[in-house]
Amino acid sequence: MSKPAVTIIGAGLAGCEAAWQVTRHHIPVRLVDMKPAGKTPAHHMDTFAELVCSNSLKASRLQSASGLLKEEIRILGSLLMDAASRTALPAGGALAVDRDRFSRIVTDRIRSNPLIEIETKEIHDIPDSGVVIIATGPLTEGGLFEAIQDRLGSPALHFFDAAAPIVTIDSIDQQIAFRQSRYDRGGSDYLNCPMNQEEYERFVEALLKAEKADIKDFDREAVFEGCMPIETMAARGSDTIRFGPLKPVGLTDPRTGRRPYACVQLRQDNQTGDLYNLVGFQTRLKFAEQKRVFRMIPGLQHAEFVRYGVMHRNTYLNSPGLLNPDYSVISQPSLFFAGQMTGVEGYVESISSGLVAGNAAAWAVLGKGAGERLAMLPGSETMTGALANYIASPAVRHFQPMNANFGLLPPPVPEIRSKDAKQQALVDRSLESIRTVADAWSRLRGKTGP
């Protein structure tokens, strides 16, 4: 293989997607990651592209923001969306994957790509030459974190993220737990543990009194709303989680023929169907307390935990005014960032940033300046482009991590009052635009890339 033209640090979701996209332009890549020799506290696998929290990539429907984003990056040739499709699990209206198979498929594709040179080491400095993409994720620390701070001269921000527990299917009492998706969307993809009012109130009381793990700076820093610990939500009010992750709406307990007072849902976590995760049960309770309190849930009295919930501090850049919409540094256009570190929040959003950064890095190698690269990006009428524009916009005064949402897109013209019709118009406009971008990128690459 010829000398790598792009160095990518980090082989997570964004880094793997970025590496793949660079090679589609016939450009060699050096992909550096500390796995399997080293791992962060949130990682467990030796393989790349590990899903550290949920195994869900959110809604599949095109009329949802997440579904639209997934379809856009599929059209643009995402490696990771292809892997997700190959490892999909039953999950109602969501795209959930077998996280082990997903990670293995991505790792195999990356390792077998002749244009990708893999180096196993921990990086402490930013390379001084060449095109570089930093995709080390929100747990970046140590020498590299300090090097980023020194190079950018801009303080990073922080927030806390969490993962939910996983239990074995055989330990769930299916005389109590029943299979159903809310409103029967997806059939019987979820296991539901119903609670009556007395059981719910006892559970909430125990949850609030349970001993929590001591996490440095937790009480002084932000918690992202999309991964709020279950006990933090419960502390906001006695019914908060009953209108959140324990929402019983659209469910019927077959033992009573009625809607439960509250309901805990469990989602399949692997292809063989022997592991299930507690949906929405991110937590910072101590492990022994998780076992005690979560076994109060009807149907989980004898639950066997293969992984307890954990919390970790995430780091992200104060990106507006610092990064361009192609995820390059404004003052250093050959240095790119990708993934949650940029302030995009979520698996698919991270993949999207890696896809954009990877293509833009390839264009940089081909001699295209920042201005020319920006003209080639998906527009703000697409979810991919809107996310990139959000993290780069100096107009965003109170920056915080952002999921894909329809509020990022400019409204259709003329105005449409019906919510459903409006969303459909946004979807149609976006996909028409993204197909035009995909065609332009294909012409630039040629037709012999992987």
Compute the distance between CA of residue 321 and CA of residue 330 in angstroms, rounded to an integer.
8
pTM across the whole model = 0.75
Structure tokens at 376: 């080639």
Higher pLDDT, 202 or 217: 202
Give the tens place of pLDDT for each residue, 313-343. Answer: 777 888 988 999 999 999 999 999 999 999 8
Instruction: Check pLDDT > 60 for residue 220.
Output: no
Q: Helices 99-111 & 79-86, crossing angle to 10 degrees? A: 140
pLDDT at 184: 73
Query: Residue range 28-53: average pLDDT?
Result: 79
Instruction: Check pLDDT > 70 for residue 447.
Output: no
CB crowding 52-83: b at 16 or more within 10 Å, else e: bbbbbbbbbbeebbbbbbbbbbbbbbbbbbeb
What mean pLDDT, rounded, does the chain reach?
A: 89
Instruction: Check pLDDT > 70 for residue 42.
Output: no
pLDDT at 217: 52
- Cα–Cα nearest to 332, from 387, 370, 372: 370
Give the tens place of pLDDT for each residue, 358-398. Answer: 999 999 999 998 889 999 999 999 999 999 999 998 887 66
- Lowest-confidence pick of 24-33, 133-142, 238-247, 420-429: 133-142
CB crowding 311-335: b at 16 or more within 10 Å, else e: bbbbbbbbbbebbbbbbbbeeebbb
- CA-CA distances (angstroms) from residue 421 to 67, 185, 320, 384? 16, 21, 32, 21
Cβ–Cβ contacts within 10 Å for residue 93, how many?
A: 16
**Helix ranges (DSSP H) in 77-223:** 79-86, 99-111, 142-152, 197-209
Compute the distance between CA of residue 239 and CA of residue 234 in angstroms, rounded to an integer.
8
pLDDT at 370: 85
Instruction: Check pLDDT > 50 for residue 134.
Output: yes
